[in-house]
Amino acid sequence: MDHDHHPKTDVHTEEAVVHDVAAPGPTFVAFFFIVTLAALALFVGFSDGLGPWKLTANLAIACVQAGILAFYLMDLRQADKVTWLIAASGVFWTSLFFLFTLTDYLTRYLGVL
Amino acid sequence: MAANVNGPVAHHFNNMGQQLATVRMGMWMFMATEILFFGGAFCAYAVYRLMYPKDFEAGSAALNVGIASVNTFLLLFSSLTITLAIRAAYTSRTKALGRYLCLTTLLGVAFLGLKAREYHMDYEEGLIPNVSTLSPEAKEKHAARMAALAAEGDRLEAEAKTKSGSEAAELRERGIELKARAAQPPVAFNENVKVVLSHNKAFKGRPLDEQTYDVGTPSAANAHDYDPFKVQLFFMFYYSMTGLHVLHMIIGVGLLTWQYVLTRRGFFDHNARFVYIEVMSLYWHFVDMVWMFLMPLLYLTGPHTAGEAIEMFKKSVGMTGGH
């Protein structure tokens, strides 16, 4: 088998994303936002203002934190389409996991459990 | 902008760009499986939380939120340092790379140290499901409570002797019931968790097994009442979910240490190898992401105050004499 070590000029292979490693600036900005959100989550957690919506608010904050972490610190922003597809698949299959499991339990008669 | 990396391309790749993209893709695929791995635990937690919301809030109120808060910031800061390590490897600054890897490892070890301290305190407080021993404080309080119950039982029986008919019978029956309850051996975990929750100023629940008579219709007064048996269920989730996370942290710390050793040996002098650091960072960020969701679900769901969190942390590290 002929192993060609010379880079090919095939357009398809050149689409393999070769992106630069992010400069520190956006990293620090993303870090600042994540830490601020963490402090906000603690503030919400330690207060009684939101009542039963406290958990929803904290999970929403966690989702935003995860998004910033994924896009900026994990470099998903510059990733190629296949990587995006894999990341989206993980979220999609997990949501199916929750959807089907909770559909079962939430429609049962809880009095017998 | 093309990556300025030089290095041999493996035979099954067309160019360096494809090789790097494949490495990253492989790691993302692994993380997708990890999402499903943790997803199972989170899903089970969601089911039982929906079934027993008040009991899970009571369990959360018994946790050490001070340590958890500090751990959150340690982990976030370590995410920053590992990201800076990628840049250091990419620009061939191996000394800086070593420093960032070392710092990330130390922050991870600090997290694990505080977590170990938290587990030890949970053990001391007897918050282990199905534990068979009472904590010292629980033993004292339980004995006092049972003595009071027995005394009340004696009083009711004595009062029954001064009455007649159905009133006397009812008093005698209640007296016997209270004395029987006083003579029952305690369920250790239940007593331990009651003691811990009694220290939570924000928590106002009453355990169901101390309500002698009817629980009554739901109202503001009994809105936070809890079943200590179901709090054990919460603690099963607490230990298994945080235990899984700790396991991942230990693996991560091990890998970081290995990469630090490789750095000292000059492995990362070739800047094409920055992708190994990037792959490590993806793993570390994922572990951080899991903690971002674990924290509100386990620790912040119950009532806590900031002052209490600070006091808990001080007590954990020995900065205060008492609770």
pLDDT digits (tens, 9 = 90+) for B257-309: 999 999 999 998 887 888 999 999 999 999 999 999 999 999 999 999 999 89
| Distance (Å, whole) CA A66 – CA A44 | 18
Q: Which of B42-56, B219-233, B239-253, B276-290 has the lowest mean pLDDT?
A: B219-233
Which chain A residues contact residue B274 at CB under 8 A?
Answer: 21
Query: How many CB atoms are located within 10 Å of the residue A99 CB?
Result: 11
* Chain B: closest CA distance from residue A87 (Å): 7
Domain B23-130+229-316 has CATH 1.20.120.80: yes
- Decide if pLDDT at A111 tops 90: no
What 3-state class would DSSP assign to B270? coil
Question: Residue B42: pLDDT band by 50, 70, 90 thresholds?
Answer: very high
Q: pLDDT band for position B9 (50/70/90)? A: confident
Q: How many A-B residue pairs are in contact by the CB < 8 A criterion?
A: 175
Instruction: State yes or no: ipTM above 0.90.
Output: no
CA distance B255 to B242: 20
Instruction: With beta carbons less than 8 A apart as the criterion, state whether B171 and B159 touch.
Output: yes
| Of the candidate ranges A57-61, B208-212, B244-248, B292-296, the one whose mean pLDDT is the lowest | B208-212
Query: Choosing among A42, A44, A54, A107, which should be mutated to test the B contact, i.e. which has the most B CBs within 10 A?
Result: A42
Interior angle at CA B166, CA B163 and CA B167, nearest 5: 45
- pLDDT at position B68: 96
Q: What is the per-residue DSSP string for B51-104?
A: H-HHHHHHHHHTS-HHHHHHHHHHHHHHHHHHHHHHHHHHTT-HHHHHHHHHHH
Find the mean pLDDT for residues B45-69.
Answer: 94
Exposure class string for B79-95: b at 16+ Cβ within 10 A, else e: bbbbbbbbbbbbeebbe
Residue B161 carries which side chain, given as an amino acid letter? Answer: K
Average pLDDT score over residue span B310-316: 92
Distance (Å, whole) CA B132 – CA B218 = 32
Sign of the Cα pseudo-torsion (A45, A46, A49, A51, in order): positive
For B130, other C-beta atoms within 10 Å of its C-beta total 10
pLDDT, average across residues B125-153: 91
Instruction: Find out whether B149 and B181 touch, Cβ atoms under 8 Å.
Output: yes
* B39 to A97: CB separation less than 8 angstroms, yes or no: yes
Nearest in space to B233 (alpha carbons), one of B62, B59, B63: B59
Split at pLDDT 50, 70, 90, the class of B209 is confident
Domain locations in chain B as residue ranges: 23-130+229-316, 135-185
> What integer is the mean pLDDT of B232-247?
97
pLDDT, residue A14, reads 41
Verify whether the Cβ–Cβ distance B79 to A31 is below 8 Å: yes
The encoded tokens of residue B153 equal: 């039982």
| pLDDT surpasses 80 at B132 | yes
pLDDT of residue A106 exceeding 90: no
Across the interface, of A13, A44, A65, the residue whose CB is closest to B18 is A13
pLDDT at residue A19, as a whole number = 56
* Residues B110-127, mean pLDDT to the nearest whole number: 96
Q: How far is CA A98 from CA A101, A102, B243, in A?
A: 5, 6, 22
Q: Is the pLDDT of residue B193 over 80?
A: yes
Listed in sequence order, the residues at least 6 apart from B111 whose beta carbon sits closer than 8 Å to its beta carbon are B71, B74, B75, B78, B249
Neighbours of A81 (CB within 10 A): 9
Which percentage of chain B shows pLDDT scores above 90? 71
Confidence of residue A40 (pLDDT cuts 50, 70, 90): very high
Q: Which residues of B touch A61 (CB under 8 A)?
A: 296
Show me where the domains of chain A are located.
20-78, 79-113
Q: State the helix-helix crossing angle for B136-162 and B165-183, rounded to 10 degrees.
A: 160
- Residues B28-52: what's their mean pLDDT? 94
Q: Average pLDDT for residues B210-222, to the nearest whole number?
A: 64
pLDDT of residue A64: 97
Please tell me which of the candidates B16, B40, B295 has its beta carbon nearest to residue A18. B16
Reported confidence tier of residue B206, pLDDT bands at 50, 70, 90 = confident
Nearest to A74 by CA among A41, A112, A34: A34
